[in-house]
Amino acid sequence: MSGISASQEGQIKELVTKGEKIAAVKLYRETTGVGLKEAKDAVEAIMAGTPVTSPTPAQVGDLDPFLENRIKRLLAERKKIEAVKIYRETYHCGLKDAKDAVDLIQAEMRREGYSNIPSTPAISDDPFTEDAQRNRRFLVLAFALMLVVIAGLVFFFLTGNGF
């Protein structure tokens, strides 16, 4: 038996037999609080007669240390979406629960003073903020263009076609 009562399981079976699978999935989601994919899989398992287990998301303090370090590393690399995805896959929870858990981990990181955790948004609101990588590209392009112009001038002067 899953995290639902026998009467709710009966309602889900009745909805599916009436051809209202979407309503059955919705009922399961409202009852258990799991994500859409988990609810769909659970409804299909109920109809197949296999037992359904609804794992609950772990609290931040209950995380596997390896997983917690991996999520922290992803957050430090500004890969929050990937961290949420890994959390969801590991703990079989909904998107909102996973995002909330990852947000708690990120807040914990800020409290602990992680130096490489992003405290500012990845995209600045200041249009005059310099982008160092773009400036490097511009300098390399300008240098290459200057070399081409100098090589062209040398070629013209050496062939006697100077100004």
- Within this chain, do residues 33 and 70 fall inside the same structural domain, yes or no? no
Residues 6+ positions from 52 with CB-CB distance below 8 Å: 1, 2, 42, 45, 46
Res 53: pLDDT: 61
Decide if 53 is inside a domain: no
DSSP 12-50: HHHHHHTT-HHHHHHHHHHHH---HHHHHHHHHHHHHT-
The C-alpha atoms of residue 134 and residue 21 are separated, in whole angstroms, by 52
Q: Are 42 and 50 in contact (CB under 8 A)?
A: no
CA neighbor of 98 nearest in space, from 135, 71, 137 = 71
Phi, psi of 58 (to 5 degrees): -75, 150
The C-alpha atoms of residue 163 and residue 46 are separated, in whole angstroms, by 87
- Within this chain, do residues 41 and 66 fall inside the same structural domain, yes or no? no
Decide if 120 is inside a domain: no
Q: Which two tokens stand for residue 40?
A: 């769909």
Domain count of the fold of the chain:
3
Decide if 119 is inside a domain: no
Decide if 121 is inside a domain: no
Residues of the chain with pLDDT under 70: 1-3, 33, 53-62, 114-133, 161-163
Res 46: pLDDT: 84
Res 30: pLDDT: 77
- Within this chain, do residues 44 and 64 fall inside the same structural domain, yes or no? no
- Within this chain, do residues 102 and 145 fall inside the same structural domain, yes or no? no
Res 63: pLDDT: 73
- Within this chain, do residues 108 and 151 fall inside the same structural domain, yes or no? no
- Within this chain, do residues 102 and 138 fall inside the same structural domain, yes or no? no
- Within this chain, do residues 65 and 108 fall inside the same structural domain, yes or no? yes
Decide if 135 is inside a domain: yes
- Within this chain, do residues 74 and 107 fall inside the same structural domain, yes or no? yes
Q: Which domain holds residue 38?
A: 6-48
Decide if 118 is inside a domain: no
Q: The whole model's pTM is what?
A: 0.42
Res 2: pLDDT: 47
Decide if 123 is inside a domain: no
